[in-house]
Amino acid sequence: MLELSHHILDIIENSLAAGASAIKITVIEDNSRDILSFEVADNGAGLSVEEIGQVCDPFVTSRRLRRVGLGIPLLQQAARACEGDLVIKSEKGKGTAVKATFQLSHIDRMPLGDVASTLVATVAAKPDIDLLYNHLVDGREFVFNTGWLVSEFKELPLNEVRVLSWIKSYCRDGIKKLYLSE
């Protein structure tokens, strides 16, 4: 994977496969602490203690066809290569939270990437998902919430092309503003 947003999308796909109806994504960029972290938390099926221990093994997967799962192991490797780590917390029947941290200034840290497209892909695939995206950069904050959209676009499904285009534009603009100095 070439950017962190691809890892975020991979975790979202895992959440959806686990039956999640709500997903919360939090991205924090803190220049004073030299940390970039993101967390994807869901209310899906959750994992047992044994399953949590196996998640970082690329040869353990719940898939039946391609019996290799590289997403989480690659993310763990990327985080550790950048003086960070990967932490997975889960409870069977309650959901899972995956948090990755990176040294923000590390030369090998991949860029955050196109998070707006990741959010659009999620809504396009699962328009009824309760999706909350919270992005903080040095105290500035951008929030995107599909719950708000449902009330705004009452007559249109969220995966309608015009709505998806609006979501992408709204998220790109909101995220871009986080990086403008005040």
Any idea which residue has 């066809």 for tokens?
A: 65
The rounded distance, in Å, linking the Cα atoms of 64 and 74 is: 20
Instruction: Output phi, psi for 40, to 5 deg.
Output: -120, 115
Any long-range contacts for 62-71 (C-beta under 8 Å, 24+ apart)?
62/17, 71/1, 71/7, 71/10, 71/11, 71/14
Cα–chain-centroid distance for residue 47?
Answer: 18
Mean local confidence (pLDDT), 11-36: 97
Across the beta sheet with 140-145, the strand order is 85-91, 95-103, 35-42, 22-30, 130-137, 140-145
Spelled out in words, what is the top-level CATH class assigned to the domain 4-178?
Answer: alpha beta
Structure tokens at 32: 């004073």
Q: The pTM is what?
A: 0.92
Instruction: Output phi, psi for 115, to 5 deg.
Output: -65, -35
pLDDT in tens, 140-162: 999 999 999 888 888 889 999 99
Would you place residue 70 in the very low, low, confident or very high pLDDT band (cuts 50, 70, 90)? Answer: confident
Any long-range contacts for 107-113 (C-beta under 8 Å, 24+ apart)?
108/81, 108/82, 109/36, 109/78, 109/82, 110/1, 110/2, 110/3, 110/4, 110/78, 111/3, 111/4, 112/3, 112/4, 112/5, 112/27, 112/29, 112/36, 113/2, 113/3, 113/4, 113/5, 113/6
The rounded distance, in Å, linking the Cα atoms of 120 and 159 is: 8
Regarding predicted confidence, which is higher, 24 or 70?
Answer: 24
Would you place residue 54 in the very low, low, confident or very high pLDDT band (cuts 50, 70, 90)? Answer: confident
